[in-house]
Structure 1
Amino acid sequence: MNDRETRLKKIQLFVDKMPSLSTTVSKVLEICSRPDTAPNDLNKVISLDPVLTGQVLKLINSAYYSLMNKVTSLTRAIIMLGLNTVKNLALSTAIIRSVGQTKKSKALPIKHFWAHSIGVGVMAKMLAAERDIPLGEREEYFVAGLLHDLGKIPFGDEYIDVLKTARMSQRPLNEVELELMAVDHTDVGRMIAEKWKLNEALTDAICFHHNPREAAPENQVLAATVALADFYVCLFDIGNAGNRFPDDQRLEEILEISGIDWNTVSQLSEKVEEEITKAEIFLQV
C-alpha cells in the first residue's frame, strides 16, 4: 500500500465517523428537490424537529430581516424565507454542527475556519448576483462557498506541517498537501460530499474549486465563482483556512470562466463585511 492509499484509508475512517446528516435534513433536501414542493410540505417535516423549527423562526425574527412584527407561524416563516433559504439553512447549520462534533485540530482553529468559509460563501453569492444568476439559485453559491474547504477538516494536527511549509515557501496549500500528504483537500472533500449525499453541483464546487474546468460543464461557473471568492477572501485575510498564498496564476482563468472582471470583484469590498455579519446571524455561529 503506497503513501496515498494509506493516507486515504486513514482519512476515510475519520470521514466514516463524522455524524451523518439528520433524517430531517435529508428529508428537507429531498422535498426541496421536487419541482412541485409547497411550503406546507416543508412545514410537515420541519415541525417534527424542534431544533430546526427554532432555527427557522429565529432566523425570520432576526436582525437579518428586521421585521416589524414577530413571526410565530412556521408555515408563514417558510413562505417568507423561501424554500431555498430554508433548505440551505437546514443543510448549512447541520454541517456546521456535524463538523463541530469532530475532533478539534490545532492546525485550523474552527472559528477562523468558519470565518473564512462564510466569507467565501458570502462573496460567491454576491458575485452570483452581479452575474444576474436567478435569485433562487444564489443560495447554492453561498452553500458551495461555505463548504468548499470541508476536506481540510479530517487532516487533523498533521496539517500543521503543511501550513508551515506553504507559509515558508509561499505556495498554494493544495500543492503542498499533495507533496507532503499525497492527497489534497479536494479529494477528501469528495469523500465527505459522498457521505452526506450532496448534489452534483455542490460536490463539483468542493472538488474542483482549484480546477474549475474539470467540473461538469454545467457546474464550471459555480466552481469558478467559488474559486474567485476564495481568492478574494484569502487575499484580504478574512478568517483563515490556511491558504495565505492563493495561486494568482489561476486568476485570469477563473475570471474568464466565472464571467466576472476584477473591477467588479473589488467594487464589492465595501459590502462584504456587512454581508458576512448577516450570514453569521443566518447561520447562528
Structure 2
Amino acid sequence: MTTSNRHAEIARAIQAAPLLSPIANQLLQVTAKADHEMKEVIDLVKCDSLLTARLLRVVNSAAMGLVHPISSVDHAVSYLGERMVVGIAVAECTNEFLGKALDGYEGEAGQLWRHELFTAIASRAISRHARTPLPADLAFTAGLLHDIGKAILSEFLCGTSRELVAEIVRGDTADYLTGEQERVGLDHSEVGFELARHWKLPEALAQVIRHHHQPETVAAELRPLVYAVHLGDILAMMGGQGTGSDSMKYHLRQEYAEHFTISKDDLALLLLECSEEFRKVEASLASLKET
C-alpha cells in the first residue's frame, strides 16, 4: 500500500470515529477557559439527566466511602470536582472507542483508557509544581485525551510492534514515535491532532495531543501545559499503566525542569501519590459498569 493510500485510509478512519456527546463537548469547551466558574459546569450537568444520574452513582459508590449519601447535583459536582465530571462525561461516550484492544501496540482492552486516566491524574498533580500558574483541571483534561490517536493508528501498525521494539533496543530507531512515522508516514500524535479537529476540541487540548512527545515544539504559552502532560505520560508508564509494546519507548525531555520545580525525589513521591489516586478513581468509575 502506498503512503498516500494509507493516509487516505487513516483520514477515513478519523471521519468514522464516534463523535463526543454534546454534553461532553460543552464541558470540554467550558473547562478549557481559564476564567470559567464552577456554576457553568453545574448548570451543564443539570441539563443532562443521564450525566446527573451517572455522577450521583459515582459519588455514592462504595469507593468514595461517604457516610451520608449525596442527592444534589451541586453537592456532587463540588465534591467530585470538575475533573471527575469531565472524566465521567468523556468516559460515557468513548468507552467502546478508547476501551478497545490496541492490537497494533499489543495492548489489551481497557489499557488505553487506564493509561489516559493515570496520565490525567499525574498531569494534574504535576501542574501544582508549575513555576507559573497552570490550571490543574485543564492539565487533567489534557492528559485524559493526549493519546486518542492510538485508537485510530493501532490497526495500521498490526504485526509491526515486535520488530519496532527490537529496532529501538538495538538503537536503529530513535523511539516509538519515529518507528510509527517510518511504518505509516504518521505518528499517533499527528493522527490524534486530526481526530481532535474532527471532535472540535478546544485548541489548547488539540495542541497538547499534537506535541505531547515534543513539547519544545509547541507555542511558548502552551509549553507548561504540554510539558505537564509529557511528564504525566512518562509517570503513567512508570506506574505500570502504559498502552502496550510502546511503554517506556519514548524520550523524556529534560527541559521540563524549566517549567516545574520537581526533583527526582518529588517524582518518586508523585508516582506513589498518583498510583493511589488512580486506584481510587478507577474503582469509583467502575460503579458505572455495574448493573
Q: Normalised by the size of structure 2, how large is the TM-score? A: 0.82
SS in 2 for 1:66: coil
In 1, Cα distance between the equivalents of 2:13 and 2:60?
A: 37
Aligned residue runs from structure 1 range 202-221, under 5 A: 202-221=205-224
Return the offset for 1:115. Answer: 2.4
Match of residue 242, structure 1, among 230, 242, 245:
245
Q: Tell me, yes or no, if the aligned pair for 1:124 and 1:229 is still in contact at 8 Å.
A: yes
Gaps of 5+ in 1: none
Q: Does 1:175 align with 2:178?
A: yes
Q: Tell me, yes or no, if the aligned pair for 2:83 and 2:141 is still in contact at 8 Å.
A: no
Return the offset for 1:178. Answer: 0.7
Return the offset for 1:258. Answer: 4.3
In 2, Cα distance between the equivalents of 1:187 and 1:193?
A: 10
Aligned residue runs from structure 1 range 75-94, under 5 A: 75-83=74-82, 85-94=84-93
In 2, Cα distance between the equivalents of 1:232 and 1:30?
A: 27
In 1, Cα distance between the equivalents of 2:256 and 2:7?
A: 29
Return the offset for 1:64. Answer: 5.2
The C-alpha deviation readout for 1:243-268, integer Å capped at 9, x for no partner, is 234344x4323333445333321222
Q: Tell me, yes or no, if the aligned pair for 2:176 and 2:250 is still in contact at 8 Å.
A: no
Fraction of identical pairs, as percent: 24
In 1, Cα distance between the equivalents of 2:253 and 2:28?
A: 33
Q: 1:129 to 1:38 in 2, by over 3 A?
A: closer
Instruction: Kindly provide the amino acid, as one letter, of the partner of residue 109 in structure 1.
Output: E
Return the offset for 1:234. Answer: 2.6
Aligned to 2:113: 114
Aligned residue runs from structure 1 range 17-36, under 5 A: 17-32=16-31, 35=35
SS in 1 for 2:240: coil
Aligned to 1:229: 232
Match of residue 255, structure 2, among 253, 261, 268:
253
Aligned to 1:187: 190
The C-alpha deviation readout for 1:101-143, integer Å capped at 9, x for no partner, is x7x54333232222222222222222122338769x2122222
SS in 2 for 1:161: coil
The C-alpha deviation readout for 1:59-90, integer Å capped at 9, x for no partner, is 32235543321011223323433445424432
Return the offset for 1:97. Answer: 4.7
In 1, Cα distance between the equivalents of 2:120 and 2:146?
A: 9
